[in-house]
Chain A
Amino acid sequence: GNSVTQMEGPVTLSEEAFLTINCTYTATGYPSLFWYVQYPGEGLQLLLKATKADDKGSNKGFEATYRKETTSFHLEKGSVQVSDSAVYFCALADTGGFKTIFGAGTRLFVKA
C-alpha cells in the first residue's frame, strides 16, 4: 500500500542554518505530495504541495521537488528562523481512498 517515510527527529539547528528534511514515498502512480507544518498547540497547515513529477512546491522560503526517479520529496530551506520551530509532516494523497497518508513527522528546533 501507499506509505510515507521521513527522517526521524528531532532536528536541532542554529538560526540561519540550512535545513533538509528527507522524505520518501511508496505509491501506485504519481499522487500529489505535500508538506504540512504543525506549530505547538495548533492543527496542520499546508506548507507546500506538488501535483506531478518534477514539480517544485515553494512557500515562505521552503522548497520541495517531486522526484519520481528517487520517489522523494525532500523539504529544504536556505536559512531557518526561530519561528520555523515546529513539526513537519510529509504526506501523499491517496486519491482512491479519499484521504491523506502522513509520515511520522519531524520535529525541528531552531536556536537563536
Chain B
Amino acid sequence: EPEVTQTPSHQVTQMGQEVILRCVPISNHLYFYWYRQILGQKVEFLVSFYNNEISEKSEIFDDQFSVERPDGSNFTLKIRSTKLEDSAMYFCASTLGYEQYFGPGTRLTVT
C-alpha cells in the first residue's frame, strides 16, 4: 500500500541554523501539507500546497518557513533560522481528494 515517507526521522539542530525536512507524498496525490505537533499539544496546520504553489498557510508559517516541490516526488519544508519553540514533530500529509494520509513524521529538536 502506498504511503507517505519522511526523512530524517529525527533532526537535532542548534538555534539559528537552517533545517530542511523532506517528504515523499503518495505518488498520484495532488495536495500536500505540513502539520506540526508540539509535545503534548494538538496537531496544528502549517501550510497546504497545490499545483506548485501555496494554497493556504497558518499564522505559524511566517517568513522563516518555506516549502518547495523541487521535483516530481519530493516536498520539502525549510526553516531558515530555527528557534527553540520550533521543536516539535513535523508531519507531511498528502491527499487526492479529502482524506489526508500522514507520513511518520520528523522529530525536530532545537537546542
* A and B interact: no
